[in-house]
Every structure is written in structure tokens, then in C-alpha cells.
Amino acid sequence: MLRNVIVFCAVFGVSIAGFAAEVTYRKDIRPLWEKKCSACHGASAPYLGDFKEDQKKFEAMLRGPRMDTYADLIFYVGWPDTGAIMRRLDDGKNAGGKPGNMYQYLGSAEEERQKNLNLFKEWVGKDAWKLNRWKAKGDVPAITKEDLDKIKAKY
């Protein structure tokens, strides 16, 4: 049976990965987020504006910006803090070898971190995993409309 599926995929140019279940916030990202991120970014964390006003205080309390709902989390994917999730979770392969400051929290070992990073990448969209911001900063250009259109981030 498996052999037939592989032959079918090869003949018709279909990826076996295409048969995998779609990554969604509710099914995949929310449970991962609860396990790895909620202690610092949960309901007791400040919203981004409050965090920025007193960042040192919140960091001393081990609190980052709030991300406990889909709406709060997508804020850091698309707009207004475009690409923040990607910059923070990236393993460094997209940023000249320097991992984002939250990459280490994706797992206790590199294999687990890579697995969880790939889950986030699948959710955002592999072609949408960009480290760009809304507006250009330094040598990094602003995100393009074409790149924003590639974001999947299914609920």
C-alpha cells in the first residue's frame, strides 16, 4: 500500500508532505505555546505598549509581551509587530547564524527545538517565514505585500 502511494506521488508530482494534516493554531500552536511560552507571555503578561513603557521591570518579573490568544499572537506575525515571532524564534539560519532570543525555549535539546520551530514555520507558512519588519530597519528591508500574502497562520 505504502509503495503504491509513493509511486502515485512520484508519477503525479505530489508531495507526501501534502497528505499531512494542516498545522493550525488550535490543534498545534496553542498546545505548544502553552507548554513552552505561556509562563512568560500568558494572561498575566503586559500588552506590548505597556511592556515597552517599562521593559526592565517586566523582564525582571520574567514577563514578555502578552501572546495568550490567537489575536495577540498574530500581532507578532503579520502586523503591527511584523515578523517578531519569526525573529525571536528563528534558529539563526535566516539571520546570519545568530538565533533569536526565544529559540532556546523551544526545547531542551536541539532536536526538540528544530521540531517545534518547524511547527511554527509550517503554521506561519514556510514561504512567509521572514525576519523583516513593517518598516525597513538598517540593512533589512520592510516586509512586502507579496510576503504578507504568503502568511497562512490558520486558526
Please indicate, yes or no, if residue 103 is contained in any of the structural domains: yes
d(CA 108, CA 123) in angstroms, rounded, equals 21
Please indicate, yes or no, if residue 42 is contained in any of the structural domains: yes
Considering its fold, how many domains does the chain have in total? 1
Residue 77 contacts residue 133 (beta carbons within 8 Å)? no
Q: Which residue range(s) make up the domain with 109?
A: 22-149
CB atoms under 10 Å from CB of 5, counted, come to 12
Q: What is the mean pLDDT of each run of 10 residues along the chain (155 residues)?
A: 47 50 96 97 96 97 96 96 96 89 97 98 96 94 96 97
Please indicate, yes or no, if residue 47 is contained in any of the structural domains: yes
Whether a cis peptide bond, with omega within 30° of 0, leads into 80 is: yes
d(CA 25, CA 9) in angstroms, rounded, equals 28
d(CA 55, CA 85) in angstroms, rounded, equals 18
pLDDT of residue 95: 74
d(CA 145, CA 69) in angstroms, rounded, equals 25
pLDDT of residue 8: 45
Please indicate, yes or no, if residue 124 is contained in any of the structural domains: yes
pLDDT of residue 96: 80
Please indicate, yes or no, if residue 12 is contained in any of the structural domains: no
